[in-house]
Structure 1
Amino acid sequence: MLGKQIEEKIEKIVEPYLKDLDIELVNIEYLQDGAYWYVRIYIEKSNYEENITLEDCAKVSGLIEDDIDSIINEKFYLEVSSPGIERPLKKLKDFERFVGEKVKVLLKHKIEDKRNLTGVLENVNGEILIFNIDEKKIEIPFNEVKKANLVFEF
């Protein structure tokens, strides 16, 4: 089974547990690092005001471990954690939530002759992300985003 298919199956397993706990799924990674396979699940509180605790991560891990084990043939390590300060932005609602923040974006196709852009996300208008990059407004269709994450500045 391909990694993307496994990630989708894991998401279907994890979502109901998280909903019951008032926790949201941020991202899932299923990848090989050296000789080892990893399932990494990133979560955050649904109210966004509280931080995920170690106890939250342990509880989620305990609830989902057997179900995930049943769909993966390889030996793997399960990691459940917060997404961190440079969290990925995956869904349109993630971008809406972080309007006003600095974001790094990798695009599927070039816009303004670039595929990598970093700037302040000024607005989300429907499915158009509006960035201020070097004092210039750039509109990026959400479906052109290959990867995006917050940029932490000291």
Structure 2
Amino acid sequence: MSKITEEVEKLVSPIVDHLELELVDIEFVKEGRDWFLRVYIDTPEGNIDIDQCALVSERLSEELDRTDPIPQNYFLEVSSPGAERPLKKETDFQNAIGQYVFIKTYESIDGMKEFEGYLLSYGPDSAEIQIRIKTRTVSVVIDKEKIAFARLAIDFSS
């Protein structure tokens, strides 16, 4: 996490906690010539609405103006993480057990670096995912330190 996203997390966490919302992720990225500060929020039930996003945006904007932690110009976006929500925290993975997920690894496991299937388990050391390879269904155990990126996915095969 960059210094800017760490500072923004300190500012936005009390806001989302007070509103009983969940902070899913923060990104500070350059796209073309413009910088974007993206804050993804949700409800515990997964049904964030536009009014809640607008309220967090308004309150966070006031805090950002007050503390000014970002030297360059940027656009602030507060939104839902969407259907393909990233899995970053332990609780994200625990809540995703039984759901269809996409996991990308830092290194190959059985010749593959991308896995899409149902998350069977997530423990202290590894995640187990059930994937389809042609006509077979197999389980793959992935060491946690090998996970580069994970998110919920949409199962188009069912």
- Normalised by the size of structure 2, how large is the TM-score? 0.88
Q: Taking structure 1 as reference, are residues 23 and 127 closer, same or farther at Cα in structure 2, changes over 3 Å only? A: farther
Residue number in structure 1 paired with 2:138: 136
Larger Rg: 2
Partner residue of 1:153 out of 137, 152, 155: 155
Structure 2 Cα separation of the partners of residues 94 and 142 of structure 1: 14
Aligned: 1:61 with 2:57: yes
Deviations 1:40-82, CA, capped at 9 Å, x for gaps = 1100013x25x11111011101111133341001111100011
Deviations 1:23-49, CA, capped at 9 Å, x for gaps = 011111100111111001100013x25
Structure 1 Cα separation of the partners of residues 108 and 155 of structure 2: 26
Equivalent pair of 1:92/1:142 in contact (CA under 8 Å): no
Structure 1 Cα separation of the partners of residues 138 and 79 of structure 2: 36
Structure 2 Cα separation of the partners of residues 102 and 127 of structure 1: 20
Partner residue of 1:117 out of 115, 118, 121: 115
Percent identical pairs in the alignment equals: 33
Residue 138 of structure 1 deviates from its aligned partner by 1.1
Gaps of 5+ in 1: none
Report the RMSD for the aligned CA atoms in angstroms. 1.5
Gaps of 5+ in 2: none
Letter aligned with residue 52 of structure 2:
D
The alignment of Structure 1 onto Structure 2 pairs a total of residues equal to 150
Structure 2 Cα separation of the partners of residues 8 and 115 of structure 1: 29
